[in-house]
Amino acid sequence: MDTKYKAEPYRIKVVEPIKETTKEKRIELLQNAGYNPFTLRSEDVYIDLLTDSGTGAMSDKQWGALMQGDEAYAGSRSFYRLEGVVKHITNYKHFIPVHQGRGAEQVVIPLLTKHDKMTFISNMHFDTTKAHVELAGARAIDCVIEACYDTKTYHPFKGNFDLDKLKHLIEERGADNIGGIIMTITNNSAGGQPVSMANLKATAKIANAYHIPILIDGARYAENAYFIKQREKGYEDKSILEIAQETFALADIFLMSAKKDGLSNIGGLIAIKDDEALFQACQSRVVPLEGFPTYGGMTGRDMEALAVGLQEALEEDYLSHRIDQVRYLGDRLKAMNIPIQWPTGGHAVFVDGKAFAPHIPFDQFPAQSIVNQLYIESGVRAVEIGSLLLGRDPDTKENIDTPLQLVRLTIPRRTYTQNHLDVVAEGMKKVYQNREQLKGLSFTYEPKILRHFTAKLKPL
């Protein structure tokens, strides 16, 4: 059927009830939560668009696979099954499971941080990636094209590296001081925006010329491959798997939060192309941090479910519905003149909080103010991706400014319907109609690292 948005390529077998609350109740709940929806109970949320991380629905095949989990501490059958799938997708020689994406980061990043004053360069670091770079004593620099910061203007690959800036940064800092080049696909923090194959190839060429290791932070590598197929010439007739394999061939190390394109509720992975020494160092490090290298913090049954999920996430039917669902919500908001990052990306619609509430300065967190009002109006939980999340500069201790003060409406995989998204759009419309009344926020409690998760705030 040729419809404007592709219908769900599945039918519903199990349901989980959700409940609406009243506006009065939500005003009280939000106040008790310190104006930070991260600290709300999920039962007090009607439609939860906080994250797409581990919040998706598993398929009947995944639930079936759970029963086949082998819970052996060492050498589990489920490990070998998962390893087979990861090696097939990546063509890499080595694989280690970890409990989630940040588990992979804490194992690998310190091993690449060979001395003081090292820098990692990414198109855009995800927040936990940046935190692990800084915990290792290094610095994280983002190097994405300018178009990424211009939410209004269409660009098919807003996650692309700025290649001139990349070369300049390497020359300026010295190749020996660069711990790695991290390709974040898709670029989560700026709208789930894809990186083109041409840009990945050009980035790899530069990194190879300077002998700098290349990492793929590939939580959403399948969504990135889908965008390449849709938008990049020469890829129309390739399969998602072929595009993914071409992508992995460009890098040395693959870190993944399997809670995204692994279609699983928990899990992560490290895959290494052929660096034996790095693999051995990771195997030693993973034991005290995550667990023995054949389980790395995962149960046998979770490894089984992930082995199936990784393959389902490469199915084109699944991906085209997923990306269309995000586009549907984006189109609805755009039709109401609500400013969003355009085009919509892979996993979320990002509302431009700076354009939405220009009267609130960056260090009073305009996007957080919108997130809070959306919860009050509709019971929908979104999340701020802006200066609250970015935190403070590790050297100057000042709040970090960014043109991207975003509200992320993150769509869990295979979970909500179009009617749910209509509730989100109507809620956002109410917030937008009364946007002049939105107020900035200040801290009553500010944690030192990853402050957005547990901070307490109050309206000014």
Ligand X SMILES: *Cc1c(COP(=O)(O)O)cnc(C)c1O
Report the helix count and the strand count for the chain, using DSSP H and E. 16, 14
Task: Among 6, 26, 94, 102, indicate the residue that binds ligand X (CB under 6 A).
Answer: 102
**d(Cα 220, Cα 207) in Å, to the nearest integer?**
22
126 binds ligand X (CB under 6 A): yes
- 117-123-129 Cα angle (round to 5): 60
User: Within 411-440, which residues bind ligand X (CB under 6 A)?
Assistant: none
Let me know: does 217 contact 129? Beta carbons within 8 Å: yes
Cα-based distances in Å from 448 to 234, 270, 291, 364, 366:
47, 28, 28, 17, 21
Let me know: does 354 contact 368? Beta carbons within 8 Å: no
User: What phi and psi, each to the nearest 5 degrees, are found at residue 459?
Assistant: -70, 145
- Closest contact distance (angstroms) between CB of 250 and ligand X is 17
**d(Cα 343, Cα 361) in Å, to the nearest integer?**
25
Pick 195 or 360: Cβ nearer ligand X: 195
Asked about 260 being catalytic, the answer comes back as yes
Q: Which stretch binds ligand X (CB under 6 A): 97-105, 112-120, 241-249, 334-342?
A: 97-105
264 binds ligand X (CB under 6 A): no
**d(Cα 325, Cα 6) in Å, to the nearest integer?**
8
Q: Which stretch binds ligand X (CB under 6 A): 121-129, 143-151, 226-234, 331-339?
A: 121-129
Task: Among 110, 194, 262, 268, indicate the residue that binds ligand X (CB under 6 A).
Answer: 268
The residue with its CB nearest to ligand X is 101
Q: Which stretch binds ligand X (CB under 6 A): 68-76, 94-102, 279-287, 413-421?
A: 94-102
Asked about 395 being catalytic, the answer comes back as no
Task: Among 62, 128, 203, 264, indicate the residue that binds ligand X (CB under 6 A).
Answer: 128
Pick 306 or 376: Cβ nearer ligand X: 306
Which residue, 253, 174, 248, 183, is CA-closest to 213? 253
- Closest contact distance (angstroms) between CB of 53 and ligand X is 5
Among 6, 99, 125, 260, the active-site one is 260
User: Within 34-63, which residues bind ligand X (CB under 6 A)?
Assistant: 53
Among 35, 126, 328, 362, the active-site one is 126
Q: Which stretch binds ligand X (CB under 6 A): 34-42, 138-146, 257-265, 365-373?
A: 257-265
158 binds ligand X (CB under 6 A): no
User: Within 185-214, which residues bind ligand X (CB under 6 A)?
Assistant: 188
101 binds ligand X (CB under 6 A): yes
- Closest contact distance (angstroms) between CB of 185 and ligand X is 8
259 binds ligand X (CB under 6 A): yes
Which residue, 62, 64, 23, is CA-closest to 44? 23
Q: Which stretch binds ligand X (CB under 6 A): 61-69, 122-130, 140-148, 410-418?
A: 122-130
Among 219, 307, 357, 367, the active-site one is 219
130 binds ligand X (CB under 6 A): no
Asked about 302 being catalytic, the answer comes back as no
Among 73, 393, 401, 445, the active-site one is 73
159 binds ligand X (CB under 6 A): no
Asked about 126 being catalytic, the answer comes back as yes
Q: Which stretch binds ligand X (CB under 6 A): 84-92, 126-134, 174-182, 387-395?
A: 126-134
Cα-based distances in Å from 320 to 230, 347, 372:
10, 12, 31
Paired strand residues for 334: none
The residue written with tokens 């789930």 in the block is: 192
User: What residues contact 4, with CB distance under 8 A and at least 6 apart?
Assistant: none
Among 70, 127, 331, 363, the active-site one is 127
CA atoms within 13 A on the CB side of 219: 28
Pick 53 or 378: Cβ nearer ligand X: 53
Pick 218 or 293: Cβ nearer ligand X: 218
Total residues at the site for ligand X (CB under 6 A)? 15
Strand ranges for 163-226 from DSSP E = 178-184, 214-217
User: Within 219-238, which residues bind ligand X (CB under 6 A)?
Assistant: 219
Pick 190 or 371: Cβ nearer ligand X: 190
User: What residues contact 143, with CB distance under 8 A and at least 6 apart?
Assistant: 121, 122, 123, 161, 162, 165, 166, 169
User: What phi and psi, each to the nearest 5 degrees, are found at residue 97?
Assistant: -80, 150
User: What residues contact 156, with CB distance under 8 A and at least 6 apart?
Assistant: 194, 196, 227, 231, 232, 343
State the angle between helix axes of 366-378 and 23-32 in degrees (0 to 180), rounded to the nearest 10: 140
Pick 367 or 441: Cβ nearer ligand X: 367
Cα-based distances in Å from 300 to 69, 78, 265, 297:
4, 5, 14, 10
Q: Which stretch binds ligand X (CB under 6 A): 4-12, 256-264, 307-315, 395-403?
A: 256-264
- Residue 263 Rama label (left phi>0; alpha psi -120 to 50; beta): left
Asked about 219 being catalytic, the answer comes back as yes
Write out the residues near ligand X by the rule CB under 6 A: 53, 100-102, 126, 128-129, 184, 188, 217, 219, 257, 259-260, 268
Active site positions, annotated? 73, 126-127, 217, 219, 260, 452
